[in-house]
Structure 1
Amino acid sequence: MPVGEVFLGAFLQVLFDRLAPRKLSLFPCEDGIRSELKQWKRKFLMIQAVLNDAEEKQLTNEAVKMWMEDLQDLAYDVEDILDEYATQVLERELMTEQPTNRIADYFSSWTPSALISQTDMKSKIEEITSRLEDLCEEKNDLGLKEIAGGSSTVSWQRPPSTCVPTEPAVIGRDADKAEILKMVSTNKQSSGSFHVIPIVGLGGVGKTTLAREVYNDKAVADFNPKAWACVSDDFDVMGISKAILESITSSSCSLQNLNEVQVQLKNKVTGKKFLLVLDDVWSRDYGLWETLKSPFMAGAPGSRIIVTTRSIDVALTMGHSEYFKLEVLSNDDCWGIFEKHVSGSTVVVSGQNLNSIRDKVVEKCRGLPLAARTLGGLLRSKQRYDEWEDALNSKLWDLPEENGILSVLRLSYHHLPSHLNDVLLYCSFSQGL
């Protein structure tokens, strides 16, 4: 797993909490184990002090990247050891304090050799300590230093989308919008009452924006009900069904049974010409799609389901052989989006510098409106021209994309204030990202 996906800063914060004195007091002080665990925290604090520097240098230094990977592995092993030791302590207490209850009866079937011996545990702890000491020595050899600010390479996950427009006008998508509206209004032969219209394209190319433009256009005013659901990578039929029902009714759904939810959905769409948008679909599981779509078979002919996805396979799974391929924007349109979002900047660029900036912006954004919008939002906060140059010349642009993550989003995260980096890392780690 790439180091950027681990959120080491947040992970270390979790370990620090588990190594806090109030937590260590729960462990018996046997063979100096508690003292050893205290040393772990001290060494991890030394490592944390140089983590910002390491996260920056790993972008261009393979040795530092390997050091970060070793630190990641060690952090996971430390967590495992703490879990293992806590479980061992609890088992002993249960067997000692409640020898006649059912828990004791359960453990009585174990042989002594099945329990982790104190010697084995101590050996594992000593191994962790040795690895920690090696990492501390290596950080000095690598020249890692304590610096203010900094960041880590982080995997980005888009927030849930909504049908509410995010800007008054969308640049460069008039023709695409007209084509989708034509597909929505044209009668199509299908096996059921609705027809699926997949919009396929690269991440950041504007699929959601286009779907939102169509959803809010007056040309679809005759569709009733209308519903919007952001799906993302977890194709949870129950969760999606509830989200659609809540979108239709504009009220919270407390039902906990899929059957009840889908019965309610069927009642809401029966005999009605509906429009549904399923945004950001990843799953190719045909069985899940069959289950999700079942209530909508009761809708009136002419109903439409718009699906946005990066995958042609998903489009073919959910629809038929027809899908709309959304292409990247022209350089002029991409520059227009950038200009609109950078307009709040106090930096004045003109003449030769303007041409240079324009060339770099359109090169970096590669026709992706999300990249142009994000980059514009980043640079509008910069106060000097040289800060624009630094951002556009950053080595972060040269990193390979992971999971379709745009370089500009990585760059945008990299330029967050350090305290916001920490918040984002911790929240992301807490949510299991």
Structure 2
Amino acid sequence: MAEGVLFNVAEGIIGRLGSLVFQEIGLVWCVNDELQKLKLLVSQLRAVLLDAEQKQANNEAVKEWLQSVEDAVYEADDVLDEFYTEAQWRQMVPGNNEVSKQVHIFFSSSNQLVFGLKIGHKIKDLNKRLHEIASNTTVGQLERNREDVEFVRRERVTHSFVREDNIIGRDKDKRAIIQLLLDLDPISIKNTENVSTISIVGFGGMGKTALAQLVFNDEEVQKHFEPKMWTCVSNSFQLDILVKKILKADNLDMDQLQNELRKKIDGKRYLLVLDDVWNENRNKWLSLKDLLMGGAEGSRILITTRSKNVANIADTAEPYNLRGLNEEQSWFLFKKMAFKEGKEPESSTIKAIGEEITRKCQGVPLAIRTVGRMLYSKHQETEWLAFKRNKLSTISQEEDDIIPTLQLSYDVLPSRLKHCFAFCSLFPPDCEISVDILIRLWVAQGFVKSSNPNECLEDVGYEYYNELVWRSFFQEEEKDEFGIITSCKMHDLMNELAVKVAGEGSRIIGGNKTDFDAKRLLHISFDFDVDSSEWKIPTSLLESNKLRTFLFLSQHYSREESFHKSFCATIASNFKSLRMLSLTGLEITKLPKCLRKMKHLRYLDLSDNFIERLPNWIVELQNLETLDLSRY
């Protein structure tokens, strides 16, 4: 689980139990004393959670203790959610109005008594478990949190930002690549064919994409090639998918695609950038290459990749190996990120620490930017010394291991932002993430908090998002015609970091992959097309009784009504704690009645279905905040 997440869940429980609403409903069902005990016990545990989360990696006893806390705290959150939902539903029904006979029976004194006894036993059992956990000897090894309150939101500050057209230290690399593209250095490329392939190779975060962007937008390059095409390949190297990306066409079959591609490039001196290529299957490359060989003499394919093997398969000449920035370039970039107006600090101590930090970043531009930005608001020598002493000692010196470096920016995030970022591990590399949906997902999970009851949580979530953007956790933002941000992406390195910090709590499932600890799983996404005739929920996943997110990222389709009912029944009976449920593309015409049991549900995605009328029982989903009925 991501550090800080459990702390936030515990804090949410304490906030609920301290509210006037819970005190009132506790009195109604005669469980106020037990609720106060629950608040005290959770407060005691919360006081040491942050220290426990930091120590668990090197202390097995602390890790096991923390897992028992996690189980109990999430159960407590569910019980209180159930309690609150029931009370709110009760308050919505006027005492003297004849709403319906069913409602009258539902809220009869006997039913209220039964519910009160049931919820009372649940809270007592929870208190017993939490008392045993709080009495564990492991607690004595833990320090109390230095701050017992939420971090204060960082004030906005002005800073010097490196734009995409002002990349530091890549002028020499840019000139070298342009020489290859324009055939100014014919010895360096294979000239046996009209279309030549050039590869930029370097490990993640080195700036391969940024360099390709600089070259692609160079004025001389713009004049030399027509057409010019940019495609991010990432993990998929299927021929039809690639050609669709190149042509930006989705509704054509393969024969139409190859015709359109040849019309676009045949006889023309084109430039095609294939960014972030991982494919090491030569047959797949040759299938694409066959369609690209009709260009005029001097046409170029520019590939960016982490693998030299990819470059060899693509028949390139000696790959262009992109190195890290030198010490002078690294320090210049760090200053622009860490200090106002890029000026060196007056303190010689801070300067010396900054130079050491820069060297630790190993010339990786992304690492330098993220760490530099994170230190921008720190002005005291003691803060810089503490950072160097407590964080940098864990950084690996291996060239290909920069995730620990990037994790420095994660470690100092306020806890409210940590689990927002970790949640993004549900999105695969190069996935275009809808910002609006992402924020609603955060809200549905209870990640977004506000002390002002009149403040819109989506607006607060947008502030969270902007803070993460400022710290370079997101990039490649797209805006609509009104300048509103619609989507973003995560750099591969940031995606890897999200997966690492999310731990066992989040998983992306692809195909028949089932290598996960179901009992620890909280959030899951499915990144493959699902055909109901061939797929069903993995048996191992049915053990995930704490699951809170069930998200489809790819197409999911079925025309069988029997499948809809059985599929939803399986979800409703096994994943009762879900806050988010995706049923997109199932071609549902009538919403299965079993879903009325999903009392904790905040976000229900019914997009791409054929539901003509929502059932009356939908109003029983008291906690539902987002109902996605788009693309009908």
Q: TM-score range by the shorter chain?
A: 0.5 to 0.7
What does residue 564 of structure 2 align with? none
Measure the CA separation in 2 of the matches of 1:262 and 1:385: 61
Q: 1:414 and 1:354, CA in 2 relative to 1: closer, same or farther beyond 3 A?
A: closer
What does residue 349 of structure 2 align with? 353
Residue 363 of structure 1: CA displacement? 2.0
Residue by residue, what CA displacement relative to the aligned partner does 1:101-154 show, whole Å, maximum 9, x if unpaired? Answer: xxxxxxxxxxxxxxxxxxxxxxxxxxxxxx99998757536537676569xxxx
User: Does the alignment pair 1:198 with 2:204?
Assistant: no
The one of 268, 285, 297 equivalent to 2:281 is 285
What does residue 160 of structure 1 align with? none
Partners of 1:9 and 1:425 within 8 A in 2: no
What does residue 412 of structure 1 align with? 409
Residue 332 of structure 1: CA displacement? 0.7
Residue 223 of structure 1: CA displacement? 0.6
Partners of 1:9 and 1:426 within 8 A in 2: no
Measure the CA separation in 2 of the matches of 1:207 and 1:389: 33
Residue 226 of structure 1: CA displacement? 0.9
Q: How many residues align?
A: 334
What does residue 242 of structure 2 align with? 240
* Amino acid in structure 2 at the alignment position of 1:357: I
What secondary structure does 1:427 align onto? helix
Partners of 2:203 and 2:306 within 8 A in 1: yes
Q: 1:263 and 1:345, CA in 2 relative to 1: closer, same or farther beyond 3 A?
A: same
The gaps in structure 1 that reach 5 residues or longer are: 14-41, 79-130, 151-164, 247-252
What does residue 393 of structure 1 align with? 389
What does residue 554 of structure 2 align with? none
Residue 55 of structure 1: CA displacement? 2.8
The one of 332, 336, 341 equivalent to 2:337 is 341
What secondary structure does 1:205 align onto? coil
Residue by residue, what CA displacement relative to the aligned partner does 1:357-376 show, whole Å, maximum 9, x if unpaired? Answer: 24313322112222222222
Partners of 1:200 and 1:325 within 8 A in 2: yes
Write out aligned runs for 1:304-383 (5 A). Answer: 304-344=300-340, 349-383=345-379
Write out aligned runs for 1:64-75 (5 A). Answer: 64=62
Q: Aligned Cα RMSD in Å?
A: 4.4
What does residue 233 of structure 2 align with? 231
The one of 159, 178, 181 equivalent to 1:184 is 181
Partners of 2:336 and 2:342 within 8 A in 1: no
What secondary structure does 2:340 align onto? coil
* Amino acid in structure 2 at the alignment position of 1:409: L
Q: 1:270 and 1:398, CA in 2 relative to 1: closer, same or farther beyond 3 A?
A: same
Q: 1:49 and 1:190, CA in 2 relative to 1: closer, same or farther beyond 3 A?
A: farther
Residue 298 of structure 1: CA displacement? 1.8
* Amino acid in structure 1 at the alignment position of 2:235: D
Residue 280 of structure 1: CA displacement? 1.9
Measure the CA separation in 2 of the matches of 1:386 and 1:237: 55
Residue by residue, what CA displacement relative to the aligned partner does 1:137-177 show, whole Å, maximum 9, x if unpaired? Answer: 57536537676569xxxxxxxxxxxxxx9334232222221
What secondary structure does 1:298 align onto? coil
Bigger relative contact order, structure 1 or 2 (CA pairs below 8 A, ≥6 apart): 1
Q: 1:215 and 1:290, CA in 2 relative to 1: closer, same or farther beyond 3 A?
A: same
What does residue 97 of structure 1 align with? none
Residue 254 of structure 1: CA displacement? 2.8
Partners of 2:265 and 2:295 within 8 A in 1: yes
The gaps in structure 2 that reach 5 residues or longer are: 10-38, 76-128, 152-161, 429-506, 509-632
Residue 383 of structure 1: CA displacement? 4.5
Measure the CA separation in 1 of the matches of 2:221 and 2:252: 32
Residue 48 of structure 1: CA displacement? 8.3
Measure the CA separation in 1 of the matches of 2:343 and 2:212: 34
What secondary structure does 2:273 align onto? strand
What secondary structure does 2:293 align onto? helix
What does residue 38 of structure 1 align with? none
Write out aligned runs for 1:19-168 (5 A). Answer: 52-61=50-59, 63-64=61-62, 137=136, 140=139, 142-143=141-142, 166-168=163-165
What does residue 36 of structure 1 align with? none
What does residue 210 of structure 1 align with? 211
My pick for the range that moved more, 194-203 or 422-431, is: 422-431
Partners of 1:278 and 1:305 within 8 A in 2: yes
Residue 321 of structure 1: CA displacement? 4.5
Measure the CA separation in 2 of the matches of 1:263 and 1:389: 62
Measure the CA separation in 2 of the matches of 1:349 and 1:295: 55
Residue 288 of structure 1: CA displacement? 2.4
Residue 405 of structure 1: CA displacement? 4.2
Partners of 1:341 and 1:380 within 8 A in 2: yes
Q: 1:176 and 1:348, CA in 2 relative to 1: closer, same or farther beyond 3 A?
A: closer
What does residue 169 of structure 1 align with? 166
Higher helix share: 1
**Identity score, percent:** 36
Residue 340 of structure 1: CA displacement? 1.4
What secondary structure does 2:366 align onto? helix
Measure the CA separation in 1 of the matches of 2:130 and 2:260: 57
Partners of 1:347 and 1:382 within 8 A in 2: no
Partners of 1:224 and 1:273 within 8 A in 2: yes
Partners of 1:177 and 1:213 within 8 A in 2: yes
What does residue 264 of structure 1 align with? 260
Residue by residue, what CA displacement relative to the aligned partner does 1:27-59 show, whole Å, maximum 9, x if unpaired? Answer: xxxxxxxxxxxxxxx999998886543332235
Partners of 2:51 and 2:144 within 8 A in 1: yes
Measure the CA separation in 2 of the matches of 1:132 and 1:422: 23
Write out aligned runs for 1:1-20 (5 A). Answer: 9=5
